[in-house]
Amino acid sequence: MKAILITKEDDIYAANLTDISEGQLPEGGVTVKVDYSTLNYKDGLAITGKAPVVRKFPLVPGIDLAGTVESSDHAGYKTGDKVILNGWGVGEIHSGGLAQKARLNGDWLVPLPDTFTTKQAMAIGTAGYTAMLCVMALEQQGVTPDKGDILVTGAVGGVGSFAISILAKLGYNVIASTGRAAESDYLKSLGASSIIDRSELSEPGRPLAKERWAGAIDTVGSHTLANVCAGLKYGGTVAACGLAQGMDLPASVAPFILRGVILHGVDSVQCPREKRLQAWQRLASDLDLSHIDLITTEIPLSEAIPTAKALLDGTVKGRIVVNVNA
């Protein structure tokens, strides 16, 4: 079967499109014939080797996959079931979705909602699922549409794009932050009411700024997240899920102790199954399906390696769906 395989021999790190046998798949109770996978930021790091994402070699990258169960010894799944996989260390320590088959722990899988095809599920992927978790985090903290504007940073990326679409459908007024002004029409087509340049947030700022947003979804981290916190209204919440600018948080405690701001971390990798199921159910009802084609570009498996490099260079818009059988 075709696969992207990452190897490391004599400290030489490489990712290649190659043929592997089913015997090279890792242990697991469920074998899935993969229809589609995706490219996420973490996949880009894994394929290029720019960060130590992969911790076991050789390994098939791909933190997402959707397909059909081929065989199963798990009570929850039988041959022919359509399933989704997001996270759980797949693509990092366990071979993942950028191959024509995958062998997995059945506890990691969730059923494909009837609303979606496997391609649509991968158009959503970890990015859309994470965006939904972020929206749920804002709701949990009482951030409702009547409270005020919601800021989304890294808006042209996968998480940002889906966050805008979901929030707009739910009735929120969304402000999109991006460094790619040429994509303003794209962001407005997803539901953003206005666009701000990321330079407003990406440099060192004040401990407290003007109160601008009732809530925010941040995919960037570092100075951007610090400035988002500083600009939240009293009692506002930011759901933080990314680190495109950096892992650091050069912030002050001022927004938290003077305005009661909440910094809510969102993890999609080890997220409990119950919350995963809830997120996918919410996506089935709260995502505008007409936006999926706007957000998504499909590529064959043969283009995954060069596209991963473009993803890290910041030249990719929205979501990349990988047809592993093309």
Q: Tell me: pLDDT of 316 over 90.
A: no
- Comparing 78-82, 100-104, 191-195, 243-247, the range with the smallest average pLDDT is 243-247
State the DSSP string of 153-209.
SSTTSHHHHHHHHHHHHTT--EEEEES-GGGHHHHHHHTEEEEEETHHHHS---SS-
Measured distance CA(86)–CA(126) in Å, rounded: 6
Note the pLDDT of residue 6: 97
Mean pLDDT on 125-140: 97
Residue 35, classed as helix, strand or coil, is strand
Using one digit for the tens of pLDDT, what is the confidence trace for 63-72?
999 999 999 9
What does the pLDDT read at residue 318?
Answer: 85
Burial status of residue 78 (CB atoms within 10 A of its CB: 0-12, 13-18, 19 or more): exposed
Beta-carbon count within 10 A of 175 CB: 21
Helix (H) / strand (E) containing 152: strand 150-152
- In whole angstroms, give the CA distance from residue 270 to residue 87: 7
Neighbours of 250 (CB within 10 A): 12
With cut-offs at 50, 70 and 90, classify the pLDDT of residue 168: very high
The C-alpha atoms of residue 224 and residue 199 are separated, in whole angstroms, by: 9
Collect all residues with Cβ–Cβ distance below 8 Å to 173 and sequence separation of at least 6: 145, 148, 149, 150, 193
CB 228 within 8 A of CB 151: yes
Residue 51's pLDDT is: 86
Domains and CATH numbers, the chain: 2-112+292-323 (3.90.180.10), 126-265 (3.40.50.720)
DSSP string for 116-144: --HHHHHHHHHHHHHHHHHHHHHHHTT--
Distances in Å between the Cα of 292 and the Cα atoms of 36, 104, 161, 230, 319 are 15, 27, 10, 33, 9
Q: Which residues contact 31 (CB under 8 A, 6 or more apart)?
A: 22, 25, 69, 70, 71, 72, 101, 102, 103, 104
Output the pLDDT for position 147: 98
Q: Tens digits of per-residue pLDDT, 208-267?
A: 999 999 999 999 999 999 999 999 999 999 999 999 899 999 999 999 999 999 999 999
Q: How confident is the model at residue 317 (pLDDT cuts 50, 70, 90)?
A: confident
Residue of higher predicted confidence among 10 and 36: 36
Going by C-beta distance under 8 Å and a sequence separation of 6 or more, which residues neighbour residue 271? 87, 133, 279
Q: Which residues, 6+ apart, have CB-to-CB distance to 192 below 8 Å? A: 152, 155, 164, 168, 174, 175, 176
Half-sphere exposure of 237 (CA within 13 A, CB side): 18
CA distances from 126 to 168, 264, 271, 312 (A): 20, 18, 11, 17
Block residue for tokens 């790619």: 180
**pLDDT (0 to 100) of residue 63:** 96
3-class DSSP state for residue 41?
helix
User: ω before 58 within 30° of 0 (cis)?
Assistant: yes
Q: Among candidates 199, 194, 189, which has minimal Cα distance to 220?
A: 199
Rounded Cα gap, residues 233 and 324, in angstroms: 45
Which is it for strands 213-218 and 232-240: parallel, antiparallel or unpaired? parallel
Residue 159 to residue 179: CA distance in whole angstroms: 15
Q: What is the mean pLDDT of the chain?
A: 96
